[in-house]
Structure 1
Amino acid sequence: MIEGLVFDKDGTLFDFRRSWGNWVIRLLEGIADGPEHRNQLARSIGFDIDRIDFAPDSPVIAATAPEIAARMNGHLPRMSHEELTDRMNRLAGQADMAEAVPLRPLFQALRDRGLKIGLATNDTEAPARTHLTNHGVIDLFDFVAGYDSGHGGKPAPGQLLAFARQVGLPPARIAMVGDSRHDMEAGRAAGMVCVAVLTGIADHAELAPHADVVLPDIGHLPAWLAESVPA
C-alpha cells in the first residue's frame, strides 16, 4: 500500500525544458565574455543554445549546483567555484518555472487520499521552497530537502530516507516519483517503489529498466494509485 509520495522537482513537478532552458541562457549571458565564450560554456554543460535544449547527459538535468559549476569553472579563470555556485543558486530562485500539470488541484487530491508528500531535489532547499511557494503548493508538503539540507543528494538515498523517518512510514510504502535515472536509483536504494515520468529529458527507453512504472506525467498518479491500491 502506497502511503507516501516523494517527488523530484525539476522535470517532475515542472517541465524541464520550459523551466530551465531560459535560466541557462540568462546564466551564460551574465558570465560569458562574448558569444564564443558563451557557446563554450554551453557546450561544457551539454546545452544547445540555438535549440534551447539539453543533451541527455547534461549535468543540469540531475546534478547539484556545485557539480554543474565544476563543469564550467575551467572556462572561467576569473570566477571561483564558490562565486559561480552562489550565482547559480541566486538565479535558480528567480527561474520562471512551468508546471508540468496544474499542481494545486493534483496535490490537493493526493492529500485528500491521506498521502504524505515530500520533495527531494538536487537543487538547493531555498529556491526549491521558493518554487513551491510561488506555485501555491508549499503548504501541501510534509517535507522539503535540497542537496544542502544535510541528507546528501541523489542518487544516494539520504533525502528519501529522511522523508520516510519524518513522516513515520516504512520505505516500502512510499513511491519515489522522478524523471531521471538518479531519481530511480535513489528510490531503489531507499527500498521504495519507483515511478518515472516523461516531463524531463530522459525518455521511456532509458527510464523503464529502472522504474516500476513509467507515466507520461504526474497528472496520471491518481489513476495509477487507484489501480494499484483501492482508495
Structure 2
Amino acid sequence: MLTGVTAVLFDKDGTLFDFSASWSAWAAQVLQHLSDGDPARATDMAQAIRFDPERGEFQPDSPVIAGTMDEPVRLLAPLLPDGWSADRLKAYLFRSAAQAAMVPPVPLAPLMQQLRGRNLVLGVATNDAESIARDHLARAGILSQFAHVLGYDSGFTPKPAPDMLLGFAQFAGLNPAHVVMVGDSTHDLVAGRAAGMQTVAVLTGMAGRDDLTPYADLVLPDIGHLPQALV
C-alpha cells in the first residue's frame, strides 16, 4: 500500500513510454545505418547490444535497456566501419535517439494532469540523456508537467545508484519517504529502495513480474493504473 505520497518520480523508457514499441524500430535503423550494408557486421553489432533482428526487439538481458547512452557506444564502437570514432558514434546516437518515435502505453497528458490535480509533484529520473528526455517529453506534450527532469548526464551517478532520486527530492524539498519511484526495471526499483522511496513497478518494459516483484511495493500493468493506487 502506498501511503503519504506527495510526489511521483517516473523513469522514462519502459515506464512513460513502452520500451519495445518505442526503441525496437530505432535500434533496427541504427544497426542498418552503422553496418553500412555489411550483413556480418550487422549481426555482430546486434549480438553486442543483445538485439534480435529476426524478432525486431531487444532481448531482456540487453545492457542497453537500463543502461546509459555510454553502453551502446562502448559496445558498438569496436565494431564500427572505418571513419567512425566513438565520439562520432555518440553524437549520431544522440541525434537519432532524440528523434525516435516514442509510444506511450496510455494517453499521457490527461494522466499527468490528473496527478497534478492531486497536488502531486512530478519528476523524471532516467538513465537516458537529459536533453533526449526533454525532447521526448516535449513531443508528447507533457514536459511542462514535470518539476524536474534528470538524466544520467545531469550531474548524478546513474541508476541503480540512488543519487538522481535523492537529487530530485532535494530539488523539490521533499521527504524521500513520501516519493514514489515508478519504473520498469530492477535498476529503477533498487535505486528507489536505496533512496528510501516507495516503489511501483510497471510491466511496459522488458522485465517480467517475477523479476520486479521482490523490489516493488506494488506491480501495475502500466502507469494508467497509478491514480487508483494512490488513494
Specify the TM-score bucket, using the shorter chain as the normaliser: over 0.9
Residue number among 107, 126, 139 corresponding to 2:131 in the alignment: 126
SS at match of 1:144: strand
What's the RMSD between the two structures over aligned residues?
Answer: 1.0
CA contact (8 A) 1:66 1:81 kept: no
Give me the whole-angstrom Cα distance separating, in 1, the residues matched to 2:56 and 2:81.
Answer: 26
SS at match of 2:101: coil
SS at match of 1:39: helix
Give me the whole-angstrom Cα distance separating, in 1, the residues matched to 2:141 and 2:210.
Answer: 33
Find out whether 1:204 has 2:209 as its counterpart.
yes
Find out whether 1:14 has 2:17 as its counterpart.
yes
Deviations 1:28-64 (A, max 9, x none): 1111031221111011101001111111110221101
Give me the whole-angstrom Cα distance separating, in 2, the residues matched to 1:18 and 1:77.
Answer: 28
Q: Which runs of 5+ in 1 are unaligned?
A: 227-231
SS at match of 1:175: strand
Give me the whole-angstrom Cα distance separating, in 1, the residues matched to 2:13 and 2:108.
Answer: 13
Aligned to 1:95: 100
Aligned to 2:172: 167
Give me the whole-angstrom Cα distance separating, in 2, the residues matched to 1:122 and 1:84.
Answer: 18
Residue number among 71, 74, 77 corresponding to 1:70 in the alignment: 74
Residue number among 39, 46, 49 corresponding to 1:45 in the alignment: 49
CA contact (8 A) 1:7 1:176 kept: yes
Aligned residues: 226
SS at match of 1:74: helix
Aligned to 1:190: 195
Aligned to 1:4: 7
Find out whether 1:139 has 2:144 as its counterpart.
yes
Aligned to 1:117: 122
CA contact (8 A) 1:17 1:52 kept: no
Q: Which amino acid aligns with 2:16?
A: L
CA contact (8 A) 1:45 1:71 kept: yes
Give me the whole-angstrom Cα distance separating, in 2, the residues matched to 1:97 and 1:166.
Answer: 27
Give me the whole-angstrom Cα distance separating, in 2, the residues matched to 1:77 and 1:212.
Answer: 46
Show structure 1 runs of 4+ deviating over 4 A: none
Give me the whole-angstrom Cα distance separating, in 1, the residues matched to 2:106 and 2:46.
Answer: 29
Give me the whole-angstrom Cα distance separating, in 2, the residues matched to 1:176 and 1:127.
Answer: 20
Q: Which amino acid aligns with 2:19?
A: F
Give me the whole-angstrom Cα distance separating, in 2, the residues matched to 1:82 and 1:150.
Answer: 20
Give me the whole-angstrom Cα distance separating, in 2, the residues matched to 1:189 and 1:11.
Answer: 21
Q: Which runs of 5+ in 2 are unaligned?
A: none
Farther-moved stretch of structure 1 (138-147 vs 84-93): 84-93
Farther-moved stretch of structure 1 (40-49 vs 83-92): 83-92
Q: Give me the TM-score of the superposition, normalised by structure 1.
A: 0.95
TM-superposed CA distance for 1:77, in Å, is 6.1
CA contact (8 A) 2:35 2:81 kept: no
Q: Which amino acid aligns with 1:52?
A: G
Give me the whole-angstrom Cα distance separating, in 1, the residues matched to 2:103 and 2:85.
Answer: 31
Deviations 1:80-104 (A, max 9, x none): 2222122111111000000111000
Q: Which amino acid aligns with 1:138?
A: L
Give me the whole-angstrom Cα distance separating, in 2, the residues matched to 1:86 and 1:200.
Answer: 26
